[in-house]
Each structure stands twice: as structure tokens, then as C-alpha cells.
Structure 1
Amino acid sequence: MRLEFSYAFSVLAISCFSLQAQDLDSIMSLNAFTEESDLQKMLNKNVSVSSQNLTSRETPGIISVVTAEEIQNSGARDMVDVLRLVPGFDVAHDLSFVKGLSLRGNWANEGKILVLMDGQPFNELLYQSVAVGNRFPVDAIERIEIIRGPGSARYGGSAEYGVINIITKAASSLNGVAVYGTAGFHKDATGRTNGGVMTSHKGQKFAWDLSIFKGKSIVSDQLYQDIFLASEPVSLVHESHADPLNINLGLKYNGLSVRTMYDQFENADPISTASFSNYALDIEYKIKLSDKFRLTPRVQYMNQKPWQYDFEDTPEVDFNVRALRTLGQLDADVDISRKVNLNFGALYFSDKGIDLSVDETMLKMHNVAFYAQALFKHRLANATVGFRFEKNTKFASAFVPRVALTKKIQNFHFKALYSASFRSPSLYNVLIDTTGAKPERSNVFEFEVGYQFTPEMLLSLNAFHISTRDVIVYGSEGEGDTFVEWYESSEKSGTKGVEVVYSIRKKKWYSHLTYSFSQALSDNAVEKYRIPQTDKQYAGMAAHKVTLNTNVYLTPNLSFSPTMIYVGTRYAYTTSDENYELISNELEPYTLVNVFLNYKNLLPGLTLGAGVYDMFNERPLMPQPYHGGLGAYAPIPGRSREYVIKLSYQVNFKK
């Protein structure tokens, strides 16, 4: 551990020494590069997920952007492959082998990370979780904008630790028709078959887009033994699946935008199936009152069946609930001057849960929110000041401020950020709460420095401290007819750590090297996250992660992309004793090495890719990131080496 801290300190010292060698005036007077490099073009793009007025190096958040080029070159099979290459992210599994996200050493599946695709939230309304394994159409993505930090001041109570904003090609850049498909093969099984079609037409006043994605996959090709040894080991080739369906339609006419989306995802383990369905309709109208004043009213409707849970040995669906949301919002954006921007607004939404087994309303709650953010641009620093206030009819109100100082001065940039954030109790959190439902609250401090040594090379380092109070924690006991479940508030949790990103992008190759370190806070009070071996890590969480994402263009059309992910030691509950008490064990570090070849325009518009994932057959275990009690699952055995083939074909409409 001392070695990793020494390394991080050395990187920071080098950056600081480079700055001390020049005073502020000399830095301000440095000549700009005569031609933007490919790296500069990426860095200088505005990032909509955090601020529409600032680039990624000045926006008030710790930002990662993943492009369609990087996804295609790496041969990523699903969002798990994409996010594992992003600093701080990892994946663990919940009930029924449903995969969820962790961030910066914290289990972040319920209400802590907001996931959007073309503006539509994927967090379900009962628990605010997001299933990610083989669910999203990665080959249809234009870019992914990620805030590795709190987003509550802007996005509300589902963005306590982070935001993932997925933008598809059809909704943004495509003006034509494209089809794509992915197949993955293990030694003795077919791992996945995914495919989709998208079409879009962009006119001066009217535009439309339509995307359809459908897939089929297994969770693993290995044998699985339940944690209590209650049954014989089974092959997950026949006893698991993760099957998505997504239909996405968008219409635009002048300032009017309409998007409707249907998403269906089914995930199964050897004894149960969990399915998620979501229909969403979103209508907004951007009104340009003047060159400096823009007003956007918005209406959103969501109709979901989340966590439709079915045990194989029961005759009927065991959990069958519908969740509804109706939302209205009015957003205003004003340029007070060339250097001052003000964004503010208000929204109201109503959530309702219906138990379909008896056709009765379980709970209904109403929420109102007000938010504002001001941006002040100055030659020495940009200052961002904002807040959000939310009031719900079923739990206490939440007020979260944010303050940020950011600036890019020629090659150097810095960010000093403070954000309060919160997780709103969702429908089922409130329904079975035993300690008085209240928002979970976090205070997050972040600091980033970065330096662009050449037009093609950037080094950045950030440090963070996350302190979370009133942690919403799930509990259960008993089984069968004696089974009881509840939510309660625990006193404190959180992590601290550092993340380093080194990027170099040449005309014929690029490489991104990252290092992530996180450590549990010493006064953690959530027993479910604890493991007996150490108090510096939570269950299933690694302290260290290193990633390398490299691509070489062997010819203008042929690329070769090796990627590497190293994850350090983890501790997790893997088995039990004769009294059914869970036993925590050490999970050894692993290194995933993947390679992918991509040939563009094999024929006009046709792209063919092939590669190998987990080349050295590491098969890392994917544990549950908590003590699951009598409902615990053993870690999912990792997939074996997978051979992947990708094919896509695109025809563009004539302008």
C-alpha cells in the first residue's frame, strides 16, 4: 500500500514541479498549439452530462468520456467490459445473478449511480437499481459521458455517487441505416448472440431515429455451487441467462423533442428468474425566448415492472409489482453576460407502486424539487455554485449545495470540488422501512490536477473523500413462510482514495493507462459491508485497479487493440459452515488480457472484428458485495476464455 501511495505522490510532485518552474504570467502567455491534436479535439468538446458550457477539463466534475471509436476498437461485448476500463468502476452481483455497479470502493447499485440512455433513466423505481450485464447495445453507442462523483445537485436523488450518460448513434450522429451483430463462443458453449438495427434521418427542421436491440447470453459457462452446499453443482450454460430487448424511437421538430423507449431485460440463476420491463415517454420543448434566455418545459412518464421475481419451484410469480412515475419539469438557462450563466428550474413527480397479485396500490408519494446553478468565468478560475432542494410527502426533505473552482490555463488544469449529495428512499425503501425513512446523505470532496505535456499527452490525478450518513441498508431473516425483509438507516459509510489517468493519442495509435486506489473509512458502521480480514476494504471491493487500453492502426482500416485490467486482492463471503454462518475468504488478484482486431470498410460500409477476451483464462469470481444472510449467493464463477466476432454494416443517406 505504501508503494501505491508513493507512486501517486510522485506523480503529483512531478506535476507541481512543472508548475513551479513557471510563474502564472509565463503560463498564461504560452503559445497555443497551431493545430489541434486528436487528443485536444476530444478534450475540448463540451460535456453535456456535467455542464453544457465547459469542456471536460473545466467542467465541475471528475469526468470520463468513452467514444464509439474506443468501444469498437476494443471489441467490448457489453457495458461491463466498457466500465471496467474506467477508473473506479467495477461490477458485482446481487440477487438472481443480476449484475450491478460499484464505484470508488463502494457498492453503488441502489440509487447511488444514475444511468441514462438518450436522456431516459434506467434506474428502476422500486429500489433504484440498474442491471448492467449484457443489457445495453454497446455497438450502437456514440459516446458515454461519466461523472465519477456526485450528481445530485443537478440530477436529484438517484445520482449520489455518479452519473452515466449513454448517447446512441441513432439519436446523435447517424444519418442512414446500420445493422450490427456480436457472437461470443467459449470452448464448450455459446456465450452470447446480440444484434440490432438502427436508422435515423436528420433534416433541417425534422429528424427521427429508431433503434432495435435484442440479445441472448449466458451468465457464465462454469459450474456453480450454492453457498450453503444445499444442492449439487450445476452448469451455468444451461441454468443461467441474461437476455435484453430495447426499442428506442425519437422525433424532433424544431424545438420539440419526443422520445419513447421500451426496455425488457431478463436475468436468471439456477433457482430463480428476475425480469425488468420499462416503458418511458419523454416530451420536451426548447423555447428560445432570446439569444440569452432559453426555457424548456418537459413531461415524462414511466411504467415499469421491476424485479419481477419468480422461483422455479413455485407455481406463480413470487414478486409482481408495477411502478409508475409522472413527472413535469420547467428548466431555464440564462446567459447573464459572456462570463456568467444561470441555470434554474423546478420539477414535480408522483410515484406509485401497485401489487399486481392483488391489484392494490401499495404506496403513492409525491415529490417537488427546486434547483439552481450559477457559473462565473474568470481568467484565473471558473466558479460554479449551485443547490437542489427536494421535498417528499413520505420522508424528510433534502438540501444539497455544490461549490467548484475549475480552470484550464493553457496546458495545466485544476479542479477543487465540494458537493453534498443524497439518495432518495424509493417506493420499496419507504414501504418496508423500520427506522423512519429519510434520505441517505453524502459529503464529497474532490481535487484534480492535470497537465498536457504535448499536444498528444495528458496526465491527471484526482483525490476524493466520500462520507455517507444515514445509509439505507437492506435486511432480511428467516425463509419460506417466516421470511421477513426490511430497510433501515445505518450511521456511516464511505471511502477515500486517488485516481491517476495517463492518455496519449497519436495519429496511428493511442493508449490510456489508469490507476485507481480506494480505502474504506475507518468509522464505517454498516455491518453488512464488513469483512473480518480487514477494515480497509468492503466486501467484494478491491483497493487497487490498473487498466490499459491501447489501439494501433496497422493500416488506415485495420486496427489492433490489446486491453488489460488488473484487480487487486478482494475479500468476500464465499461459503458457509455447518451452522449456515457465512465465511469470508480472500480472492486472489487477477489480470484480464483481451485482444481485438478490427477491419473497417472491408467492403464499403462493412466492418468486421474478431478477438479473444480473457486470453489467459483467469475466470475471476464475481462476488456479492455484502453479507447476504440466509439469502446469500456464492460468487459467480467467471467466464472462461471467449472468442468474439463482430460485424456491422452502415449505409448513409444522401445529404
Structure 2
Amino acid sequence: MMKMLCTSFSILYSLSFSAVSVEYIGSDNDLLDSFYGSEEMVEIATGVKTQIYKAPAVTNVFTAEQIKKMGATDIDDVLETVPGLHIQRDPILHLPLYIFRGIYSSANSQALMLINGVPITNNFIGNRNNSWGGMPVEAIARIEIMRGPGSALFGADAFAGVINIITKNADDIKQNGAAIRVGRFNTQDAWFNLAGNKGELNYATTVEYHKTDGSNELIEADLQTANDAAHGTNASLAPGHLSKSIEKYDVRTEINYHNFTLRSGLQYIASQGIGAGVVSALDPDSLNTNYIWNLDLNYNSQLTSDFKLSTQATYLRTSQEVKNQYTLFPPGYAGVYTEGLIGNPQVWEKHARFNTSGLYTGWSNHSVLVGLGYHNANMYRVEETKNFGIDPATDQPIAPGSPIVDVTDTPYVFIPEQSRQNHYVFLQDIWNIANDWQLTAGLRHDNYSDFGSTTNPRLALVWSTSLNLSTKLLYGQAFRAPSFVDMSAINNPANIGNPNIQPEELENLELVFDYHPAQDFGLVWNIYKYTWDDIIQLVPQAGESFSLASNNGIQTAYGTEFELNWQITPALALRANAAFTQAENSKTKDDVPLIAAKQYFVQLDWQP
């Protein structure tokens, strides 16, 4: 059993040279907010802008100004402050894992990341990309986070939580500018933004650059250390430092013209160290490179006073590439691999999506959202070179010490090229039952070409208990789609995919109290219970040397989260939260390891 305590405390001091005017606005401001929208509005909960305390979900919103006050330089600095969301690091590539409420897996496929509402999920592993190196914050207008299931609206992988990053448009960039920043470990940052308009055409661009050698944590022993002890060798590179260097570029562009919005984004990692090594054996020389490139075209129009149409077409390309070969185990491994055990798997994917939805408000006390969509995911290129396994030229094992062999486009590659198609429809009704009661009901049906269909409902009852208190009862189901590795991995001496595998499933029940007695003070307390079923795990096979991906695990958990936001004075603000979760392996009755059972966060902002 392992339990983790995560505690952070920050006092932020800033000087402002602009004049500040402070005015208190009473409860009538709620009416203005509901009409014009404000920073307290959230869209991630329903697809429709809603005041946070009325939203049928547990959400958090961070604006660009709030992010700046935090001193955050990457989204991970922001997300770590969300109650019930803990960021861990995977040994491979030091990948950030966004662990919502104790739902942990090494690939972190259960957390859905969106950029401007578009998933950036790779189907190879099922996460953002094994080389995901975070995202700088200068291009971000706001971040919306929903804790809990969201498959009834967002589909696959909106499982434990959803993170939507909304980038800046021309209205958000008030002044063009450029900046540089330097720090420890040879850290260098630079960025510039540019925005303007020509008649009805508005444009905005932000370009960011980041480079660092990474901090110098020391690893005393690694997996090769254990191999050395078992075989009497001395090949391990431990003690040694994590390989955390990275050089990356991030470019965001948005163009608006009447009802059309065109966005493009490029996240390019030119070079990245691989953390503790691909198999947790230190590898200081290997480097990784990748890109995530996206383009989306959006059309939004209020066609009539009662009907709004939204249509989106998107294109996404990603890669996971090896820049300097992966040495899985160092020279001297097993006493015979003089150059080390070397394997270089690489994949490229492209994704095309189209979806359209309509919001109809013509029925008394109802807001009905209906939509459909299509997604084509194509892992169109797979390459691999290695010095172990089977040589396709001879169909014989590659002898230790042999040159590296290219097994690309042969039966001996680690995974075949493949594609997946998904068609879906969804329906949601927000029903104002009475002045102080609102029921949100939603349902989404997804049909996949490789593993079949899944249907996920949600129900949320929001009661305006008093002028200052909202009470919410939430129920939802979600699914995590099997990745291509889960279904199709081959020629791996340890782990094999299973074409018969089914999606993971989640059922969640939650009670929320949102107390907001004044514009400058708010408390949120929620309690939840969930069951995570059909967990995809690697199960050893009797009489075999490999493990098979299987729907094998069940996890149950309950927990509570508490948030306080208080503008004490115009110059002083306090934000604090705490989260507790108790997660159990339902088969063994053991506590779940590697999760943060207790979290605390305090932030004090002072702007004299």
C-alpha cells in the first residue's frame, strides 16, 4: 500500500503601475453575467455557457490573468492546483500524468485533453502522446477543467476528467509584444504575440520557445541494477541523473471572419530526453522528437432566435519519433549485448473529425442540444529498428552483438499500421423544471469499427436551494476506448495486445454544495463515489513468457473535495482547497497504490 501527500503553498507578490478602480457589484450582477457572460461562465459542462454554480458538473476555470498571478509557466503548474487532480511523472520521457480522483494508469488514457474543444488524443497509446511535454501558457486565454465523467458529451476518454485549453483570439491580445526569460538549468524562454484586424477580419498569433537541461534528480538504482544483481554483471549507469532536457516550439494562430473561425496549432518538440529510460534503465544519450499539428474550421450562427447551429471540421497529425536511438538496456546487458539492447519504435498518426450540433430553445423551459459526428483515426506509418527479436531476412533470431535490423513493413514490427472509424450521435436537454430546479439529461451513442458500440448517459439535478446556495446531484457514465497497443501490439517479448478487448467503463455518483454568499466569497464541497470496471491490465498467461492485455480490474472509490475562494480585500485574495480519496482494488480489497490519497493547496495573492 502506498499513500502520497501532496502539499503546496505559494505567496505571490506583484507590482502594478496601472490605475485600479474597485467597485462592489451586488447580486444583480448575476443577471448581467447570465446575459453577457463573465469569467465565472463555463462551457465544458454542457457545451452551452453556464454560470459555474449552476453548471451540472464540478468545474474549475482559470483565466489568463489568474494564470499570470500564479507565476505559472506551463499548464502543469496550473492543473496541479485543482482539487482531486494530481500530476505524477511517468519514468518514460518524464510524461506528466493527470490523475483525477485516484484513477491511475501508466498511459493516463482516462484524462481527456482538448485544445479549443478538439481532442489531441493519440490512438497508439490512447493518451496525448507519449512525448507530450506540457504546454506553455502565453497563448492560453482560459483553461476549463471538469472532474468526473463526460462521455455523454465528449465521448471516448472523457472518463475521469476533461481539460479544455482555450487559446487567445484577437480580443484577448490587448497589446502586441515580445519577451524573454531565463532560469536555472540553462532554461531559456521567448515568446511574442501579434493581433489585429482588417475590417471584419480579426487575426491573432502567439509563438513560444522553451529550452532547458532539466533539473538534476539523481537515480540511485534502476532496472539494470536488478539485472546486474541477478546475472553478476556491472552494466548499470546508475547512480545517474534523469534525462529531462527539452527544446520545443509552440505556435497558435486564429482568424475570425463573421461566423467563421479558423485555428491552427503546432507543438513541435525538437529534442527531448527520455526521463528514466524507456524500460526504466537509465539512458542519458537517447533523444526523442515529435509534433502535434492541428487545423480546425468552425462555423457558428444563430440561424433563428430559437436555433443556433455549430459545425466543426478538424485535422490533426502527430508523431512519436526517435532522434537518437533508444538504448533499452546499457552496453554489457546480459553479458553479451556489447552495444546494449537497442530498439527504436516510431509511429505517425492523422485524424480527421467532423461534427455538427444544434441548440434549440423554442420549447418552453427547455434547451435541447442535438448533434452527430464522425472521426477517422489512421496510424498510417510505423517504423522500427532493433538488435533483438527476429530478423525478417532470415526468419531467425537476431544474434546478440549483431548490427541493428530494420523490421519496418514486415511481420516482425512491434505493431501493424491500422485505422479506426467512429460514428456518434448525442442528445442533451436542459429542463428548467421550476424557478429553482433544473434537470440536465444527456445520452451519447458511439459506434466503433474495431470494438463495437457503447452508450453513455448522464443526469444532473441542480437545486437553487437559496439565493446563495446551489445543491447538485450528479450521475454519469463514461468509457475509455482501447488503444491500438491494447488491441494490436505484437512481437513484444513481454506484452501482447488483445483484439477482443472491450472499453473500460466508469459509473459515478456525486453530491455538490456550492455556497456563494457574495461576489468575492465562495465555498464548494462535494462528495463522490465511483466504480471503474473492465480495467485494461496486462495479465500473465499460463505457460507463456508474455502478458496479454485483458479487461481484468475493478476499482471502487469514494472521496471528498473542498474549495475556498475569497477576495479578502481589493488587493488580497485567498484560494485554498483540499481533497481526500479512498480507492480500493475490488478484487484484492487492497488500497490502490501510486495515487495521492490526500492533497492540500493554498495560494495567497497580494497586489499592493
Residue number in structure 2 paired with 1:101: 98
Q: Cα RMSD (Å) of the superposition?
A: 3.1
Indicate yes or no: 2:83 matched with 1:87: yes
Task: For residue 180 of structure 1, give the secondary structure of its aligned residue in structure 2.
Answer: strand
Contact kept, 8 Å, 1:148 with 1:161, in 2: the verdict is yes
Using the TM superposition, give the Cα deviation of residue 354 of structure 1 relative to its aligned residue in structure 2, in angstroms. Answer: 2.9
Task: Report the residue type matching 1:268 in the other structure.
Answer: I
Matches within 5 A, 1:23-34: 33=27
Aligned-pair CA distance for 1:177: 1.4
**2:202 matched residue in structure 1:** 207
Summarize the Cα distance change of 1:350–1:379 in structure 2 as closer, same or farther, 3 Å threshold.
same
Q: Which residue of 2 aligns with 1:268?
A: 274
Corresponding residue for residue 179 of structure 2:
180
Amino acid corresponding to residue 362 of structure 1 in structure 2: E
1:301 to 312, 315, 319: 315
Secondary structure of 2:551's partner? Answer: strand
The answer to whether the aligner puts 1:158 opposite 2:157 as a matched pair is yes
Q: How far has the Cα of 1:33 moved from its partner?
A: 3.5
CA separation of 1:291 and 1:314: change in aligned 2, threshold 3 A? farther
Q: CA deviation at 1:497?
A: 0.2
Contact 1:423/1:440 (<8 A) preserved? yes
Match of 1:499 in 2: 561
Match of 1:511 in 2: 574
Aligned equivalent of 1:439: 503
Equivalent of residue 320 in structure 1, options 327, 334, 346: 346
Query: Do the aligned residues in 1 keep the contact of 2:308 with 2:358 (CA within 8 Å)?
Result: yes
> Are the counterparts in 2 of residues 494 and 524 from structure 1 also a CA contact under 8 Å?
no
Equivalent residue number for residue 216 of structure 2: 221
Which of 334, 348, 357 is 2:374 aligned to?
Answer: 348
Amino acid of the residue matched to residue 466 of structure 1?
A: Y
For residues 37 and 540 of structure 2, the distance between their equivalents in structure 1, rounded to whole angstroms, comes to 47
Q: Which residue of 1 aligns with 2:479?
A: 422
Distance in 2 of aligned mates of 1:283 and 1:349: 15
Identity %: 20
- Does residue 125 of the first structure (1) align with residue 101 of the second (2)? no
| One-letter identity of the residue aligned with 1:406 | V
2:426 aligns with 371
Output the CA distance in 2 between the equivalents of 1:245 and 1:547. Answer: 31
Distance 1:308 1:493 in 2: 35
Structure 1's 183 and 553: CA in aligned 2 closer, same or farther, altered over 3 A? Answer: same
Compute the displacement of 1:176 (Å).
3.7
Deviation at 1:35, TM superposition (A): 6.4
Structure 2 residue aligned with 1:339: 365
1:391 Cα shift?
Answer: 0.7
Structure 1 residue 134, shift from structure 2 partner: 5.3
Q: How far 1:200 moved relative to its partner?
A: 1.9
How far 1:545 sits from its partner (Å)?
0.7
The match for 1:71 is 67
Which piece of structure 1 moves more, 381-390 or 208-217? 208-217
Task: Tell me the CA shift for residue 420 of structure 1.
Answer: 0.6
Match of 1:398, as an amino acid?
T
CA distance in 1 between counterparts of 2:273 and 2:120 reads 16
CA distance in 2, matches of 1:395, 1:470: 14
**Equivalent of 1:236, from 238, 241, 261?**
241
Residue 344 of structure 2: SS of its match in structure 1?
Answer: coil
In 2, distance between residues paired with 1:180 and 1:524? Answer: 54
Letter in 2 for 1:333: L
Matched residue, 1:27: none
- Aligned equivalents of 1:132, 1:84: Cα separation in 2: 20
Report if aligned partners of 1:50, 1:147 keep a CA contact under 8 Å in 2.
yes
> What is the aligned partner in structure 2 of residue 112 from structure 1?
110
Structure 2 CA distance, aligned partners of 1:99 and 1:400?
28
Summarize the Cα distance change of 1:99–1:132 in structure 2 as closer, same or farther, 3 Å threshold. farther
- Cα separation, partners in 2 of 1:308 and 1:396, compared to 1, 3 Å: farther
Give the TM-score of the pair, scaled to structure 1.
0.71
Q: Structure 1 residues 419 and 180, CA, compared in 2 at 3 Å: closer, same or farther?
A: farther
**Residues 497 and 517 in structure 1, CA contact (< 8 A), matched pair in contact too:** yes
Return 514-523 or 314-323, whichever deviates more.
Answer: 314-323
Alpha-carbon distance between aligned partners in 2 of 1:178 and 1:234, rounded to the nearest angstrom: 44
Deviations along 1:478-512, one digit per CA (max 9) or x if unpaired, are: xxxx9957522123124210000011013111111
Q: Show structure 1 runs of 5+ residues with no match.
A: 1-30, 526-533, 555-655
Structure 1 residue 67: deviation in Å?
2.2
Q: Which residue of 2 aligns with 1:540?
A: 594
Q: C-alpha distance in 1, partners of 2:199/2:359?
A: 24
Do 1:47 and 1:55's aligned partners in 2 also have CA atoms closer than 8 Å? yes
Aligned partners of 2:31 and 2:86: how far apart in 1?
Answer: 31
Q: Is 1:287 matched with 2:287?
A: no
- For 2:203, the aligned partner's letter is W
Whether contact under 8 Å (2:295, 2:316) holds in the other structure is: yes
Per the TM alignment, residue 341 of structure 1 is displaced from its structure 2 partner at its CA by: 0.7
Segments of 5+ residues of structure 2 without an aligned counterpart are 1-24, 229-235, 276-281, 328-338, 384-407, 411-415, 490-496
Give distance in 1, aligned partners of 2:316 and 2:28. 49
Q: Equivalent residue of 1:437, what SS? A: coil
Q: 1:545 to 1:244 in 2, by over 3 A?
A: same
Deviation at 1:132, TM superposition (A): 8.9
Structure-2 residue corresponding to 1:470: 534
TM-score (norm. length: structure 2)? 0.76
2:138 is paired with a residue of what secondary structure? Answer: helix
* Mapped contact 1:459–1:501 kept (Cα < 8 A): yes
Q: Alpha-carbon deviation of 1:333?
A: 1.3
Deviation at 1:401, TM superposition (A): 0.4
Residue of structure 1 in register with 2:255 after alignment = 251
1:394, 1:219 → 2: CA distance? Answer: 41
Do the aligned partners of 2:96 and 2:134 also contact (CA within 8 Å) in 1? no
SS state at 1:368 partner: strand
**Is the 1:175–1:199 Cα contact (8 Å) retained in structure 2?**
no
Relative distance call for 1:202 and 1:150 in structure 2 (3 A) is farther
> Could you tell me how far 1:155 is from its partner in structure 2?
0.8
Which stretch shows the higher mean deviation, 396-405 or 204-213? Answer: 204-213
Q: Which amino acid aligns with 1:59?
A: A
Q: Residues 34-93 of structure 1, C-alpha deviation per residue, up to 9 Å, x if partnerless? A: 668999999873212123242111111101112222221221232222111110111222
| Distance change (3 Å), C-alpha of 1:132 and 1:393 | closer
Letter in 1 for 2:156: G
* 3-state DSSP of counterpart to 2:189: strand
Distance 1:468 1:306 in 2: 29
How many residues align structurally?
Answer: 506
**Cα distance between partner residues in 1 of 2:247 and 2:552:** 35
Instruction: Give 1:158 shift.
Output: 2.1
Instruction: Check 1:411–1:244 CA distance in 2 against 1; reply closer, same or farther (3 A cut).
Output: same
Structure with higher helix content? 1
User: Residues 415-445 of structure 1, C-alpha deviation per residue, up to 9 Å, x if partnerless?
Assistant: 1100011111233322233271211110011
8 Å contact from structure 2 (residues 374, 423) kept in 1:
yes
Letter of the 1:488 partner, please give it. S
| Equivalent pair of 1:44/1:56 in contact (CA under 8 Å) | no
